[in-house]
Amino acid sequence: NLLDQAIEASGTESTRIVLGGFSQGGTVAILAGLSYPRKLAGIISISGWGAYRQSLPPKVLEANKATPVLFSCGKGDPIVTFPLTHQTGEVLQSIMGDNASIMHVERPCHPPESTEMMAAAKFIQAQLNL
């Protein structure tokens, strides 16, 4: 596992890692983070979507059932459309409850706005107690 290799090489505890990504990277962060067998500090997805939305709940391992998740999407994103991201947000909310923070941002493009990047920075600071 790539994450295990990075943890071993760096000596960083998994509980000090916030896994995140943009677009397809956000999709990978959600699935990899929630199915990772060691506790993570947090998961961030910006302009991503949930792969395996209907079958995601059993893929979430015990270690990360309570891991905070920040999921941000644009209402006018022409690449990853709002119906897809809205459904993903609902699935994450149903699985993670209050541990999922869902942001629906009024933006007409795929790249994130500064408010999303600031929210991600604050999320990382909060999860890592910086």
Active-site hit among 14, 23, 45, 72 = 23
Q: Is residue 4 annotated as a catalytic residue, yes or no?
A: no
Mean of per-residue pLDDT scores for the chain: 95
Q: What is this structure's pTM?
A: 0.95
Residue 55 pLDDT class (50, 70, 90 cuts): confident
Least Cα distance to 77 among 117, 119, 47, 115 occurs for 47
Active-site hit among 14, 45, 77, 101 = 77
Q: Residues 81, 82, 85, CA angle at the centre, nearest 5°?
A: 95
Residue 1 pLDDT class (50, 70, 90 cuts): confident
